[in-house]
Amino acid sequence: MLLPTLLVLPFLASSRCSTPAEDDVRLIVLVSIDQMTPEQLERLGPRFSGGFARFLGGERHRLAFHDHADSSTGPGHATLGTGLWPSHSGIVGNLWADRAQGDAGIYCVADPSVAPLGPLGPGAVGPAGRSPALLLGDGLADHLKRASPGSRSVGIAGKDRAAILATGHAADWALWWDASGGQGFVSSTYYGDALPDWVASFDEAWWNRLPDAGWETLEASRDPRLGASADVRAGEAPRTFPHALPLAVPREPGASNELGKQQRAQLSRWVYGSPWIDLFSIELAERALDALDLGRDESVDYLFLGLSGCDIVGHSYGPRSLEVTDLLLRDDAALGELFDAIDARVGAEHWIAALSSDHGVLPLPESLDSRGYDAVRLAPNEMQLGSSRLGELLESTYGTNFVTGVTESGILLDREAMEREGIGLEELATFAREGSADWMPRLRTLFTQNDLAPREGSAPTGGLARLAAHSFLDTRSPDLVVVLEPWTLVGFPYGTSHGTPWPYDRHVPLLFLGPGSTPGEDWRPCATVDLVPSLLERAGCPIPDGLDGSPLH
Ligand SMILES: [Zn+2]
């Protein structure tokens, strides 16, 4: 009997997760705090006592960066969940232009072949169907299903693109908050025909969980030493604590169930811009533990938890605002309770966790300016204005306006017209670069397909071009990829944003907990594509070929 066993073992080791043992990992938990910066962990570290405190006592990679240029939520979560650059995951932006469909804006998780799924059934909620159809690579859920029979995966997040892209094609469920319709957590018929009971029961009169007083600061957040004590600073959204509910929630028994559609929608939008988007997500994750029996057998399960509140609140108030500070302290406490629950149900030795973020953020330009940075807030629609000005310049020089549109990362051109009139892409790009003062303030450079598309032996090996190449897919990327100077904000009349290749948008937390991690600080540079192979290795699962990262040790 010994010989056949020995012969079979190498096969098992190469295609399956490690065989059951006392200390086997049975659950992987990935927590992504949308728009979290390492500075926030640094500044608030001493005040954390819950989930973030646990991570800070774990394996902490201080120099972790997203290794791609378009630092936004879709690409970031796809990278966290697949170990692939956007050029390989296909998720090159939150939105991109599709040439075949007349440059129409394509949302990164759009799928017209499926229907939205809410507590009232298919089609009753949300604007359109969602799925990972546009994700070109496999995600953690896919690798685990292949390597660990019976594996279950669930993604829970405030945002659909986070829950869907950070899990993969084979997730059992991706669930996200219905911010516009007020149905609670919703999904898509891609995952099933009816919302599971544990979600539908959460959605029942979810507004009863909101406090009458709305969002007030915790006492701890008011500590002036946290550097966030002034409630309104230059550049912030002009709203102050307490952030009241938009309407009084009726509390008499039965009455709250009669909230109208309009009222539910108003309250759900309020939740989306408050810590409750995160607190609700964490509560649902705890329900998922029991409902899906996560981590209770020998298969390796996967829970993705995307806390979107930091981003939504951060866009309005900035990363050092009182609002974001208060939200992160609340996230910390709630995550601590979730982790205690996982310990109790799964056993501390049977689960591993990672903390990271889909992108960083630019501090408020006004606060940078006050410290001497050359920071500027351009008109929110400066990209559109700039591309129109470029079109006019082209028209006056070449007789034709070749600009057909603008995306979040660049400019679309009428390539057929250019060919007809004998204007090459490089010639046009040179014209646009050299004349940038006349159409786009603070333009650092433009890249074309020739600069970024992989050609044998000539992929860009460094600098901005390498980062832009990792965000480039010829069928989904614009003709001219636009890079503005650092410390430049477009798109927001107040608050701030992200999306650039500059370090403040790409530097993110990357921390590990549990078996296989080495507590302490690690200052070796690493990238977010290293996350998936690291988690697979620590869970005893094989690392598939073709990933863009390597396991961190
Ligand atoms: Zn954002």
> Residue 454's domain spans which residues?
379-441+443-484
In a domain, 133, yes or no: no
Q: Which residues contact 164 (CB under 8 A, 6 or more apart)?
A: 109, 130, 131, 132, 135, 155, 171, 174, 176
Task: Tell me how far the alpha carbon of residue 40 lies from the centroid of ligand 1, in angstroms.
Answer: 16
Task: Tell me how far the alpha carbon of residue 214 lies from the centroid of ligand 1, in angstroms.
Answer: 23
- Phi-psi region for residue 103, left (φ > 0), alpha (ψ -120 to 50) or beta? left
Task: Tell me how far the alpha carbon of residue 107 lies from the centroid of ligand 1, in angstroms.
Answer: 15
User: Per the structure, how many domains does the chain have?
Assistant: 2
Task: Tell me how far the alpha carbon of residue 471 lies from the centroid of ligand 1, in angstroms.
Answer: 17
In a domain, 495, yes or no: no
124-151 burial code (b ≥16 CB/10 A, e <16)? ebbeebbbbbbbbbbbbbbbbbbbbeeb
Mean pLDDT within 87-105: 85
Task: Tell me how far the alpha carbon of residue 382 lies from the centroid of ligand 1, in angstroms.
Answer: 18
Say yes or no to pLDDT of 5 above 50. no
Mean pLDDT within 489-507: 96
For the ranges 24-33, 226-235, 490-499, which has the lowest average pLDDT? 226-235
Q: Report pLDDT for 8.
A: 37
Q: What percent of the chain has pLDDT over 70?
A: 93
User: Could you tell me if 448 and 424 are in contact, meaning their C-beta atoms sit under 8 angstroms apart?
Assistant: no
Task: Tell me how far the alpha carbon of residue 456 lies from the centroid of ligand 1, in angstroms.
Answer: 35
Task: Tell me how far the alpha carbon of residue 198 lies from the centroid of ligand 1, in angstroms.
Answer: 29
Q: Both 389 and 333 in a single domain?
A: no
Q: Both 158 and 254 in a single domain?
A: yes
The strand pair at 510-513 and 351-356 is best described as: antiparallel
pLDDT-derived band of residue 2, with 50, 70 and 90 as boundaries? very low
Q: Both 47 and 185 in a single domain?
A: yes
Task: Tell me how far the alpha carbon of residue 123 lies from the centroid of ligand 1, in angstroms.
Answer: 27
Q: What DSSP designation does 140 have?
A: H
Distance CA 236, CA 238 (A): 6
pLDDT per position as a tens digit, 523-540: 999 999 999 999 999 999
Task: Tell me how far the alpha carbon of residue 316 lies from the centroid of ligand 1, in angstroms.
Answer: 10
Task: Please report how many Cα atoms fall inside a 13 Å half-sphere around the Cα of residue 335, on the Cβ side.
Answer: 28
Task: Tell me how far the alpha carbon of residue 461 lies from the centroid of ligand 1, in angstroms.
Answer: 28
The strand pair at 173-177 and 153-157 is best described as: parallel
Task: Tell me how far the alpha carbon of residue 34 lies from the centroid of ligand 1, in angstroms.
Answer: 7
Say yes or no to pLDDT of 482 above 70. yes
Residue with tokens 């991706």: 174
Task: Tell me how far the alpha carbon of residue 310 lies from the centroid of ligand 1, in angstroms.
Answer: 9
Mean pLDDT within 506-520: 97
Q: Both 291 and 171 in a single domain?
A: yes
In a domain, 226, yes or no: yes
pLDDT-derived band of residue 22, with 50, 70 and 90 as boundaries? low
Task: Tell me how far the alpha carbon of residue 521 lies from the centroid of ligand 1, in angstroms.
Answer: 28
Q: Report pLDDT for 232.
A: 79
Task: Tell me how far the alpha carbon of residue 498 lies from the centroid of ligand 1, in angstroms.
Answer: 6
Among the candidates 421, 451, 484, a domain finishes at 484
In a domain, 134, yes or no: no
Task: Tell me how far the alpha carbon of residue 161 lies from the centroid of ligand 1, in angstroms.
Answer: 12
Across the chain, mean pLDDT equals 92
Residue 16 or residue 527, greater confidence: 527
Distance CA 364, CA 383 (A): 19
pLDDT per position as a tens digit, 104-141: 689 999 999 999 999 988 876 656 899 999 999 999 99
Burial class (CB in 10 A: 0-12, 13-18, 19+), 396: exposed
Q: Both 46 and 184 in a single domain?
A: yes
Task: Tell me how far the alpha carbon of residue 311 lies from the centroid of ligand 1, in angstroms.
Answer: 5
- Nearest one of 362, 305, 494 to 37, comparing CA atoms: 362
Distance CA 167, CA 205 (A): 28
**Do you know the residue count of the chain?**
553
Task: Tell me how far the alpha carbon of residue 79 lies from the centroid of ligand 1, in angstroms.
Answer: 16
pLDDT per position as a tens digit, 394-428: 999 999 999 999 998 999 999 999 999 999 999 99
Q: Both 171 and 216 in a single domain?
A: yes
Task: Tell me how far the alpha carbon of residue 377 lies from the centroid of ligand 1, in angstroms.
Answer: 16
In a domain, 277, yes or no: yes
- Nearest one of 235, 322, 251, 265 to 43, comparing CA atoms: 322
CB-CB neighbours of 537 under 10 Å: 16
Task: Tell me how far the alpha carbon of residue 222 lies from the centroid of ligand 1, in angstroms.
Answer: 25
Q: Which residues contact 396 (CB under 8 A, 6 or more apart)?
A: none
Task: Tell me how far the alpha carbon of residue 285 lies from the centroid of ligand 1, in angstroms.
Answer: 22
pLDDT-derived band of residue 147, with 50, 70 and 90 as boundaries? very high
Q: Both 346 and 400 in a single domain?
A: no
Task: Tell me how far the alpha carbon of residue 95 lies from the centroid of ligand 1, in angstroms.
Answer: 13
Task: Tell me how far the alpha carbon of residue 71 lies from the centroid of ligand 1, in angstroms.
Answer: 9
Task: Tell me how far the alpha carbon of residue 499 lies from the centroid of ligand 1, in angstroms.
Answer: 8
Mean pLDDT within 66-73: 98
Three-state secondary structure string covering 73-123: HHHHHHHHHHCCCHHHHCCCCCEEEEHHHCCEEEECCECCCCCEEECCEEC
pLDDT per position as a tens digit, 352-397: 999 999 999 999 999 999 999 999 999 999 999 999 999 999 999 9
Task: Tell me how far the alpha carbon of residue 296 lies from the centroid of ligand 1, in angstroms.
Answer: 35
Say yes or no to pLDDT of 229 above 90. no
Q: Report pLDDT for 146.
A: 95
Mean pLDDT within 184-213: 95
Task: Tell me how far the alpha carbon of residue 314 lies from the centroid of ligand 1, in angstroms.
Answer: 8
User: Could you tell me if 196 and 173 are in contact, meaning their C-beta atoms sit under 8 angstroms apart?
Assistant: yes
Residue 193 or residue 232, greater confidence: 193
In a domain, 492, yes or no: no
Q: Both 298 and 329 in a single domain?
A: yes
Say yes or no to pLDDT of 88 above 90. yes
Q: Report pLDDT for 253.
A: 65
For the ranges 46-60, 82-96, 459-473, 496-510, which has the lowest average pLDDT? 459-473
- Phi-psi region for residue 376, left (φ > 0), alpha (ψ -120 to 50) or beta? beta
Q: Give CA separation, 443 vs 406, 466, 470, 504, 546, in Å.
A: 15, 18, 20, 18, 35
Provide the CATH number for the domain around residue 176.
Answer: 3.40.720.10
4 phi and psi, to 5 degrees? -60, -40
Task: Tell me how far the alpha carbon of residue 277 lies from the centroid of ligand 1, in angstroms.
Answer: 15
pLDDT per position as a tens digit, 244-272: 999 998 877 665 556 888 999 999 999 99
Q: Both 480 and 509 in a single domain?
A: no
In a domain, 120, yes or no: no
Mean pLDDT within 26-53: 97
Q: Both 342 and 461 in a single domain?
A: no
Task: Tell me how far the alpha carbon of residue 250 lies from the centroid of ligand 1, in angstroms.
Answer: 33
Task: Tell me how far the alpha carbon of residue 463 lies from the centroid of ligand 1, in angstroms.
Answer: 24
Q: Both 64 and 144 in a single domain?
A: yes
Rg (CA), the chain: 24
Distance CA 56, CA 42 (A): 9
Q: Report pLDDT for 252.
A: 72
Residue 429 or residue 258, greater confidence: 429
In a domain, 531, yes or no: yes
Task: Tell me how far the alpha carbon of residue 364 lies from the centroid of ligand 1, in angstroms.
Answer: 14
Q: Both 337 and 385 in a single domain?
A: no
Task: Tell me how far the alpha carbon of residue 308 lies from the centroid of ligand 1, in angstroms.
Answer: 9
pLDDT-derived band of residue 21, with 50, 70 and 90 as boundaries? low
Both structure tokens of 400? 């034709």
Q: Report pLDDT for 6.
A: 37
Mean pLDDT within 87-108: 87
Both structure tokens of 537? 């290795």
Task: Tell me how far the alpha carbon of residue 225 lies from the centroid of ligand 1, in angstroms.
Answer: 27
Provide the CATH number for the domain around residue 387.
Answer: 3.30.1360.150
Facing residues of 507 across strands? 65
